[in-house]
Chain A
Amino acid sequence: MSTAPIYEIDPKTFWKDPYPDLKRMRAEAPIAYVPQLGATLLTRRDDIFENEKKIEIFSSDQPQGLMTVLMGQNLMRKDGAAHMAERKAIFPSVSPKTVKSVWKAQFETETAKALEELRPLGRADMVKDIAKRVSGEALKAITGLTNMSWQEMDRVSQGMIDGCANYAGDPEVEARCHDCTGSIDRHIDGMMPLLRETPDSSMLSVQMQAGLPEEAVRANIKLTISGGQNEPRDVIAGLVWTMLTHPEQLALVRDGKATWLQAFEEYARWISPIGMSPRRVARRYEAKGVTFEPEDRVFLMFGSGNRDEAAFEDPERFDVTRDTSQSIAFGAGPHFCAGAWASRCLIAEVALPMIFENLPGLALAGEVPFGGWAFRGPLEMPVTWGTIVS
């Protein structure tokens, strides 16, 4: 355990709204040991930005970590050359060029289909009926698991996320996680022969084309699903809520004074969908008077760094015109989110403009609770819109 000062949290309060505690930590104990989480938290933007790159100390290789144990060792749990080799192998499926030339049209088709189906109803739950589906359909295309339904995509993603956060060892959660990884493996089994025959730009196919070991291929598909479903889902719904509750910001976008991309980047800073990334301390290290011991668990708190008063003026204010270049919403360093360009395209170029264009008069129709600190987003979001009478 590190020598960092101890900061106690109430896990339930922290889950509901972590920002007040994080603000206090940044001010009073920017590197703090939180006993309820069994980890030392780095909460200031520059500390995270600087230390995430020190992979020889803050290692991603966590053989005993739940993600590695339950999902296999994916590239996010490797460092150095081993990580870069797999990252290079998957690049053709998520590069800006592929996103633009291959995935964007599919994102548009599926989003249009979802909105056409829902539009006559005049109401929906933005999280469950729209964001989940748009996100799931995009992920089906990118992973190559087109034989899976979007509902199953969401289920298996959530099951793995819950499994990876199951520090209490609840056997039910673990069993559900195994069921989810089993489902993914069966869908991979189903797609592999087809993609061997007809290779494409999907994550599954490009890894097979690069000759990665099957174990790594499967682990990386699971990583993509565990990380590629909930973030776009949470940002799509969260950003719609934000725009509806900040009409002056929506007006800036509608009047062409700001772009959807700016709105997306600012939302990802303001309510980071991934609030935390864990690391294992590989060797003894001292930083800012704190000594870290080997095997200590460290949490890089992106969600806190993105509200760091030292990096952002009035950080709790949502402002689409803000310079977000200091944001660490996609991480900082070699593990920078590989899906960044796909998510920008899906959310800023496709989902948000299409939702506001196709659901005229979109309005909130009930409470919108948010939850989470490692992953954060709205839990439900009833909305209505005007139906077109023909």
Chain B
Amino acid sequence: METISVTWILLDGTRKSVAVETGGNLMQAALDNGIDGIVGQCGGSLACATCHVVVEEAPSALPEIAPDEDDMLDMAEPERLPESRLSCQLVALPELDGIVLRVP
């Protein structure tokens, strides 16, 4: 199974990089790897905004924010930034190898 490297900058500023299998979403990857601060309550059904991340470095352009994600990001805690995304909507694709996400 192909993997990509995903790095989270944790709440205390430390970095954690893990190999994530391609095809799944980055919210699930965070839960599987015990990333504190990513709760992922709704399991990716765009209903909770508890998988909010700030994209610090993206190796290629990310998919555009769909209206439903945009709506939900408005409710994210802490307040959204221009680089904010819901990690449930980011799929681990080969072009995202090396992506760096900050837990806000």
A residues near B, CB below 8 A?
A: 52-53, 84, 87-88, 91, 95-97, 325-326, 328, 330-338, 340-341
- Tell me the bound Cα distance from A50 to B44 in angstroms: 14
CB pair B39–A325 under 8 Å, yes or no, is: yes
B46 at the interface (CB under 8 A from A): yes
Closest to A83 in B: B45
User: Which of B43, B45, B71 is in CB contact (< 8 Å) with A95?
Assistant: B71
B89 at the interface (CB under 8 A from A): no
B12 at the interface (CB under 8 A from A): no
- Tell me the bound Cα distance from A87 to B43 in angstroms: 14
User: Which of A84, A97, A328, A341 is in CB contact (< 8 Å) with B45?
Assistant: A84
Which residues of the partner chain A approach B99 to less than 8 Å between Cβ atoms?
Answer: none
In the complex, the number of residue pairs spanning A and B with C-beta atoms less than 8 Å apart equals 46
CB pair B75–A96 under 8 Å, yes or no, is: yes
B residues near A, CB below 8 A?
A: 39, 41-48, 50, 68, 71-72, 74-75
Closest to A95 in B: B71
Closest to B77 in A: A325
Which residues of the partner chain A approach B47 to less than 8 Å between Cβ atoms?
Answer: 336-338, 340
CB pair A97–B71 under 8 Å, yes or no, is: yes
Closest to A329 in B: B41
Main secondary structure of the interface of B (DSSP, over half): loop
Given contacts A96-B71, A96-B74, A325-B50, contact A336 B39 (CB under 8 A): no
Given contacts A325-B39, A325-B50, A326-B39, contact A336 B45 (CB under 8 A): yes
Q: How far does the Cβ of A278 sit from chain B's closest Cβ, in whole Å?
A: 18
Which residues of the partner chain B approach A330 to less than 8 Å between Cβ atoms?
Answer: 41, 48
Main secondary structure of the interface of A (DSSP, over half): loop
Given contacts A325-B39, A326-B39, contact A87 B45 (CB under 8 A): yes
7 contacts between A and B (CB under 8 A): A91-B68, A95-B71, A328-B41, A330-B48, A334-B45, A336-B41, A340-B47
User: Which of B44, B74, B75 is in CB contact (< 8 Å) with A334?
Assistant: B44
